[in-house]
Structure 1
Amino acid sequence: MATDNKVQLVEEFAAKLATAKAAFVADYRGLNVDEVNELRGKLRGAGVEYRVVKNTLLRLAAKGTDFECLGDYLQGPTAIAIAQEDPVAPAKVLAEYAKDSKFFELKTAVLEGKILSEGEVKALAELPSREVLLGKMLGSINAPVSNFVGVLAAVPRSLVQVLGAIRDQKAA
C-alpha cells in the first residue's frame, strides 16, 4: 500500500475513533469470504462498520483517543468493529457470531475508554437494547402517576356502586 493511502487510512480511522462510543477487536483467522461478508452484513444492519486493518495503522489512528489502550491487543490478524451509536447491538451480533463460529474470536472491546474482557462483552450483549431500556424507564416513571389516578378514580366508582346498591335495595 502506498504511503499516501496509509496516511489517508490512518486519518480516516482516527476521525471515526474520535467520535465512536465503542470498538470491538476480533481475530478473524480461518473465516472465508462468505462468512466475513455475512458478519459484515449483520453488523451493517446494526449500524456498525467492520473492517480488517493493519495493526500498526490502527495503533497510529488510536493515538490520542479513548481507544489507545487497544495497542496491547493488536497482534495477529485484526478486524475492528466501530460502533458510533449503540454499543449493545454490535456486542450482541459479535458475541452470537463468536459462539456460532469456531474460527472467529473476539479479542477485546473498548467502551468509553475502558477495556472490556470477553465476559464483560457477553454481559453487554445480554443487555436489552437502548429503546427497550428507555421504555422500561418511562414505564417506571409513569407507574406512580397511573396508580394515583386509579386510586382517585376508585373513590367515585365506589360511591356510585354503593348508591346503586341502595337503589336496588329500596326497589326490592
Structure 2
Amino acid sequence: MREEKLQEKAQLVEEIKEKVEGAQSIIFVNYRGLSVEDATELRAKYREAGVQYKVYKNTMMKRAFAELGYNEELLDHLKGPSAAAFSMEDPASAAKITSEFAKDHEEIEIKSGIVDGRVISLEEIENLAKLPSKEVLIAQVLGGLNAPIQGLANVLTGNLRGLAVVLNAIAEKKEQEATA
C-alpha cells in the first residue's frame, strides 16, 4: 500500500515536470475565496485559450520544480492554496486571463510566474498581460516588413513613370525637329 502511494506521487511529480517543460509560461495563483461559479468561469476562460489550469499539492509542485533545478525564489511562492496555469501556445495568455479575471475578482491572488524557464515578478506578469496577442504581434511585424517593400515599389514605379515621361518628351521633341 505504501509502495503504491509512493508510485502515485512519483507519477504526479513526473506529470508536473512534463507540463512545466512543455509550457511557454506558467502563472501561479492563490484561488482561496473563489466561489465554485467563479472558479468554473476562470477554468472555462483558460480552456478556451488553450491554457491548462491545475491544482496540485504544494509538496508535489515543490518536488517537481526542485528536480527541474528551480531555486528557492520560486519554491517560496508555493505556500497556501496554489494552482498553476500552464500556457502551452501563447506565453501571454495565462497572464492576460489571470490579470483580467483578478480585476473583477479580488479573491484571486497572482503569486508568481515562469517564462522561458525564468521566474518572473508580479510586475513582469502585468507587463506580459499587457502585450498584444501572438496573432496581433505577428500582424504588426508583417505590416512593418511590408511597409519598406511597398515604399520601394512606389519609388521604383515613380522613377519608371518619370523616365517614361522624359523619354516621351524627347521623342516628341525629335518628332517636332524632324517635321520642322
Structure 2: where are the runs of 5+ without partners?
173-180
Maintained 8 Å contact 2:25/2:92: no
The residue that corresponds to 2:40 in the other structure is: 37
Distance 1:21 1:64 in 2: 18
Question: Which one has a bigger Cα radius of gyration?
Answer: 2
Q: Deviations over 1:59-83 (max 9, x none)?
A: 1122332655521100001011111
Where 1:63 maps in the other structure, the secondary structure is helix
Are 1:23 and 2:26 matched, yes or no? Answer: yes
- Name the amino acid aligned to 2:39: V
TM-score, normalised on structure 1?
Answer: 0.85
Q: Which moved more, 1:63-72 or 1:48-57?
A: 63-72
The residue that corresponds to 1:89 in the other structure is: 93
Distance 1:64 1:56 in 2: 12
TM-superposed CA distance for 1:95, in Å, is 0.5
RMSD: 2.4
Distance 1:63 1:145 in 2: 50
Number of residues of Structure 1 aligned to a counterpart in Structure 2: 165
Question: Of 99, 105, 116, which residue of structure 1 is paired with 2:103?
Answer: 99
Where 2:86 maps in the other structure, the secondary structure is strand
Distance 1:41 1:70 in 2: 27
- Name the amino acid aligned to 2:136: V
Where 2:34 maps in the other structure, the secondary structure is coil
Consecutive aligned runs of 4 or more in structure 1 exceeding 6 Å deviation = none
Q: Which moved more, 1:139-148 or 1:26-35?
A: 139-148
The residue that corresponds to 1:11 in the other structure is: 14
Maintained 8 Å contact 2:25/2:94: no
Where 1:73 maps in the other structure, the secondary structure is coil
Are 1:136 and 2:140 matched, yes or no? Answer: yes
TM-superposed CA distance for 1:154, in Å, is 2.0
Distance 1:125 1:105 in 2: 15
The residue that corresponds to 2:52 in the other structure is: 49
Q: Percent identity?
A: 40
